[in-house]
Structure 1
Amino acid sequence: MAVEETRSTWVDLIRHGQPEGGQRYRGHRDDPLSHVGWEQMRAAVEPRDHWDVVITSPLLRCRAFAQAIADERGIPLHVEPDFKEISFGRWEGMKAEEILARDGDRLAAFWSDGEANPPPGGEALSAFHGRVARGWHHWVHALWGQRILVVAHGGVIRMMLACVLDVPPGRLMAGLHVPYACRSRVRMDRTDHGLLSCLMAHGEGPP
């Protein structure tokens, strides 16, 4: 086995900061980061952070900061369409309290079992997990041995960690808190026993 194939791969996942308009079910809606959101993202990274490459969702609330980091550090940027947030269908752009008032039972059913109860007009959890997993496995393979920064959405990060931890996506979609500018760190190693993936850190600020 070549030396390059035995190196660890490190991936830092950062959720975007607060977009303009505050907390909403955005999905594919393309709102930019607010001033507060930019401050949150700046606070989430440090000069000592080292990455070889940045991968981002195409949506502006992720892409703008990813582009800024890539430009500042002189590293490549890749835009991955599969890393868009889940489509919330008719809920997109609505605040949680608005959905609760109009569609509370359906919202509760979605968080209880997103596969059986997708958002009205939105994306099934299995389809969402499938496309995120496709992008995840592609980039991990293509960039093996590097330090990777991924700027993405709360739902996307949950689906990536479902891949890392090998747990049902519905469990993480409902059971893992991913606040604005939250960071997670993953380490992957190829061994004689297969691929070993470990969640090294999860929470606010640099790990």
Structure 2
Amino acid sequence: MTLDDARMTEPQRGSWSSARPGAATTDIVLLRHGDTRLTPERRFSGTGSGDPGLSATGGEQIRRAARGALLRSTPFAAVVSSPLRRCQETAALLAAELQLPVKVEVDLREADFGDWEGLTLAEVERAHPLDLAAWQRSADVAPTGSSETFGDVLRRVGDLADRLAVTHAGSAVLAVSHVTPIKAFVAHALGASAMALFKMELSSAALTRITCTGPDWLLRSFNDTSHLT
């Protein structure tokens, strides 16, 4: 799903932006890792859960992403990745295709889901109904056994997004990450609150693209899985 309107000219598009003319644009392409053994069952999988790697299906999803139009046509200057195994394996498959080294970026890690790791939403609802209800009502409430809230994730990812925009000004960077951080990148670009993370759906191996020109962030595309069809 692309947010650019093909009928909109560049001057029209720019007129909506507060970016200064001539400012360098940073293009950040975000790729969610492929499936793991936990993904099809929609189990919470954060910094724990045994740190699963890609399944055979997940590996094939990433190979398809590497052959897709966006990754093939973008001249990336760098690839950064979460330190978790599923992202490291995803990045390794892409790096071979893109001929670029992978830099580990710890702030791309998934959220810490505490005692909910490895459980489905229904299982969490049975085991921790009050904690789950409180978490769903407020981005300042952490999962049972965790100290990290969605608000915390948005702050660390927002700081990372701003650093990447400066470090890679005028170029494109590919970031391999997880559901929650990628949603946080989008919320940061839109100036939305952390509660917006509950309002987004992100598929395995989906591509999302944001750009930063001067102080101005734009969401260019979200949850693009066209390379998987």
Q: Tell me the TM-score normalized by structure 1.
A: 0.87
- Alpha-carbon distance in structure 2 between the residues aligned to 1:77 and 1:102: 39
Match of 2:204 among 168, 173, 180: 180
Q: CA deviation at 1:96?
A: 2.1
Is this contact kept in 2: 1:44–1:204, CA < 8 A? no
Unaligned 5+ runs, structure 1: none
Q: Deviations over 1:118-164 (max 9, x none)?
A: 10121122322222222222222111111111110100011111111
C-alpha contact 1:13 1:152 (8 A) present in aligned 2? yes
Q: 1:130 aligns with which of 145, 155, 159?
A: 155
Give the aligned partner of residue 39 of structure 1.
60
Q: How many pairs does the alignment contain?
A: 197
Match of 1:26 in 2: 45
Query: Are 1:164 and 2:189 an aligned pair?
Result: yes
C-alpha deviation, 1:204, in angstroms: 2.9
Offset of 1:206 from its aligned partner? 5.2
Query: Is structure 2 residue 29 aligned with structure 1 residue 12?
Result: yes
User: Does the Cα contact within 8 Å between 2:34 and 2:205 map onto a contact in 1?
Assistant: yes
Matches within 5 A, 1:21-170: 21-22=38-39, 23-29=42-48, 30-45=51-66, 46=68, 48-50=72-74, 51-115=76-140, 117-122=141-146, 123-170=148-195
Q: Distance in 2 between matches of 1:111 and 1:17?
A: 26
CA distance in 2, matches of 1:121, 1:150: 28
Give, in whole Å, the separation in 1 of the partners of 2:30 and 2:182. Answer: 7
Q: Percent identity?
A: 27
TM-score norm. by structure 2 comes to 0.79
Provide runs of 4+ in structure 1 moved above 3 Å.
none
Q: What is the rounded CA distance, in whole Å, between the counterparts of 2:25 and 2:193 in structure 1? A: 25
Q: Contact 1:52–1:76 (CA<8 Å) still a contact in 2? A: no
CA distance in 1, matches of 2:133, 2:203: 20
Partners of 1:158 and 1:37 lie apart in 2 by 20
